[in-house]
């Protein structure tokens, strides 16, 4: 079974994080939400409390998944950017040629940590200056090798379905997409 870690910090964009969790779980992917705040309860950017499955400090190994995902939201993105453990995992996943995905402002974490050099990438408008080394794209969702980026909340379902396609195949993504009325 495909496995994903999705990292959460206070101020994350709820739709971007939870849509990914929902779509991937519908498609049979094991998704673990991980708080980087030291507590399981996270407060989203719109004051929606969410309980993570795990706390970063309590887990000893995040290297066993197929993909890691960073949702956006400015405050959440800044916390992800500052978290040394998340940074180390980004490098590990890149070096092991595993998937790294980020949406909205979160692709800036990838850019500021040197993961986008020569890669096509997109992000929330206004964050492009932090996509250091990237070939900036105006597409809503972009995959370049093992890096997947997306513009923001409005493309959360499309982003999640792309991740599902990469992990479980196009047939599963189409089946789930049709079931949630994304495809007709």
Q: Is 104 an annotated catalytic residue?
A: yes
Burial category of 120 from C-beta neighbours within 10 Å (exposed 0-12, middle 13-18, buried 19 and up): middle
Relative to beta strand 49-51, strand 99-103 is unpaired
Residues 6+ apart with CB under 8 A from 150: 101, 102, 103, 104, 107, 122, 140, 141, 142, 156, 158, 159, 162
Burial category of 148 from C-beta neighbours within 10 Å (exposed 0-12, middle 13-18, buried 19 and up): buried
Residues 6+ apart with CB under 8 A from 171: none
From the list 2, 6, 104, 115, the catalytic residue is 104
With residue 95 as reference, give the H or E element that holds it. Answer: helix 84-95
Measured from the Cβ of residue 4, the count of other Cβ atoms closer than 10 Å reads 23
Supply the residues annotated as catalytic.
104
């Amino acid at each position: 079974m495909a496995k994903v870690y999705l990292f959460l910090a206070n101020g994350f964009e709820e739709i971007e994080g939870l849509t990914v969790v929902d779509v991937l779980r519908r498609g049979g992917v094991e998704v673990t939400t991980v708080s980087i705040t030291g507590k399981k309860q996270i407060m989203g950017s719109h004051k929606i409390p969410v309980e993570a499955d795990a706390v970063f400090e309590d887990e000893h190994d995040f290297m066993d998944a197929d993909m890691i995902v960073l949702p956006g939201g400015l405050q959440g993105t800044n916390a992800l950017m500052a978290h040394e453990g998340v940074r180390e995992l980004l490098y590990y996943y890149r070096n092991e040629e595993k998937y790294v995905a980020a949406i909205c402002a979160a692709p800036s974490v990838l850019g500021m940590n040197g993961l986008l050099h020569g890669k096509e990438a997109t992000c929330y408008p206004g964050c492009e200056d932090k996509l250091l080394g990237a070939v900036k794209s105006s597409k809503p969702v972009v995959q370049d090798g093992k890096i997947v980026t997306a513009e923001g909340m409005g493309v959360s379902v499309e982003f999640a379905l792309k991740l599902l396609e990469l992990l479980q195949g196009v047939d599963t993504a189409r089946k789930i997409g049709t079931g949630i009325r994304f495809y007709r």
